[in-house]
Structure 1
Amino acid sequence: MQPEPSDAHEIACRLPRRDSTVPRARALLSAVLGSWSIDQEVLDTAELVLSELVTNALRARAPRDRQVGVRIAYTAEDGLLRLEVSDAGEGRPEVRNPGDDEAGGRGLLLVDALVHQWGVQERVGAIGKTVWAELKASGITAVPVERDVAAVTLQPGNLVKLRGVWRTVRSARGERSPSGGFVMVLGLDDGSVLRVDAAEPLTVRGSGQPRQCDAAGGGER
């Protein structure tokens, strides 16, 4: 696989096979594309597409403990926003033409109508498949020196502003809260540990883009 060009923005997450994964994926997408200054119309379309892809992944027959992978990437060179959803389920999704009396089966019809192109590929070195879709997107606005991002996108090395003081993130991991939500546990350069809601906006400094998050609080599945 060829390395991605330097003008690529991307983030990848692993999410649990739960009903709450669809709204979590949408919230993550909104936070990430907002920080990349993607056009609102593209964001709205991308949310619909990602919701359908994640829903299909959750419906695929797979062990309950297998996670769903989500990757969001934008490359300025070709102006395409790419959404990928991976699962360990059997079979390959196909576009259906349900009858008027059928309640479901229209998800991929919607995806096919909204995106520039989409497809399915086998997961390299793992079981299951990856369904991907690409949308045409306008250019990303230059990243400011300081910007607000969702806590879930933070990674070690980021400079984050907390109570008016800049701190370096030394470690970042996600875990479920007792209420069933998702929080980030951030280890900071002064030795302290901060627990913050995954969707909480935090001010970061620098142009580096978060690369990966583990929103399932566990290892690769």
Structure 2
Amino acid sequence: MQVLQVQLEIRPDPAEVGRARRWARSRLAGSGIQADEPLAETLILLVSELVTNAVVHTGCPAVLRLSLPGAAAGEAIVRLEVADRSVRAPVPRWADDDATGGRGLALVDGLADRWGWTTEGAGKRIWCELDCGAGSRGAAACGSGVVPYGGAAAAREGITYEAV
């Protein structure tokens, strides 16, 4: 299977969250994921949450990476990663109804099929995946069977790489 892997450098600035969303949306069409599909909206929400966490909670530059199946892919995995230079572990919080934050990792947990994090050198990488098969119809078809904190990495054969 052909996979398109793209990445974007993120500065530690809250304005980068919007830039990351626009960048991710622009990369979806080439993978066969249309901008108006529920899957695209789910991916953009996941990008928003993970980039926001990196910008707000670390104050460090980060790298956003998307691994998208090619347009002709049948069974596929969409993978999103955000790597930053902070060794602080991501900590899920339980926000009350009046809180203005604290729901990001709960959203990731509820929307992704798998998610987790690993230490990497002087920082960490937080990742999530959505399983999408032939005939999938957006997030409803791709967002089942949530398994928090874990899961195996997607196979990395046939990768096309683009760095921005």
Give the TM-score normalised by structure 2. 0.74
**Structure 2 counterpart of 1:45, from 42, 47, 54:** 42
Secondary structure, aligned partner of 2:163:
coil
Cα-to-partner distance string for 1:54-107 (whole Å, 9 max, x where unaligned): 000002234xxx421011002447511000011112311122212233221111
Q: Residue 211 of structure 1: SS of its match in structure 2?
A: strand
In the other structure, the counterpart of 2:89 is 92
Contact map agreement 1:42 1:137 (CA 8 A) in 2: no
Counterpart for residue 106 of structure 1: 103
Percent of pairs with identical residues:
31
Task: State which structure, 1 or 2, has the greater radius of gyration over its C-alpha atoms.
Answer: 1
- Structure 1: distance between partners of 2:161 and 2:13: 24
Count residues with an aligned counterpart.
Answer: 137
Secondary structure, in 3 states, of the residue corresponding to 2:38? helix
Listed as ranges, the gaps of 5+ residues in structure 2 are 135-158
User: Which residue does 2:52 correspond to in 1?
Assistant: 55
Over aligned residue pairs, what C-alpha RMSD do you find? 2.4
Q: Which has the higher strand share?
A: 1
**More helix, by proportion:** 2
TM-score (norm 1): 0.56
Amino acid at match of 1:213: A
- Residue identity matched to 1:128: G
Contact 1:68 1:86 in 2 (8 A): yes
Query: Structure 2 residue aligned with 1:74, among 68, 74, 78?
Result: 68
Task: Give the superposition deviation at 1:41.
Answer: 1.4
Aligned partners of 1:7 and 1:77 also within 8 Å: no
1:213 and 2:163 correspond: yes
Quick one: which amino acid aligns to residue 132 of structure 1? Answer: W
- Per the alignment, residue 151 of structure 2 pairs with none
Q: Which letter does structure 2 place at the counterpart of 1:23?
A: G
Note if contact 2:75-2:133 (Cα within 8 Å) is conserved in structure 1.
Answer: no
Compared CA separation, residues 135 and 128, structure 1 to 2 (3 A): same
Q: 2:118 aligns with which of 116, 121, 136?
A: 121
| Runs of 5+ consecutive residues of structure 1 not aligned to the other structure | 1-5, 140-208, 215-221
**1:16 corresponds to:** 11
One-letter code aligned to 2:25:
S
The Cα of 1:18 is off from its aligned counterpart by 1.5
* Higher RCO, 1 vs 2 (CA within 8 Å, ≥6 residues apart): 2
Distance in 1 (CA, whole Å) between partners of 2:75 and 2:115 is 15
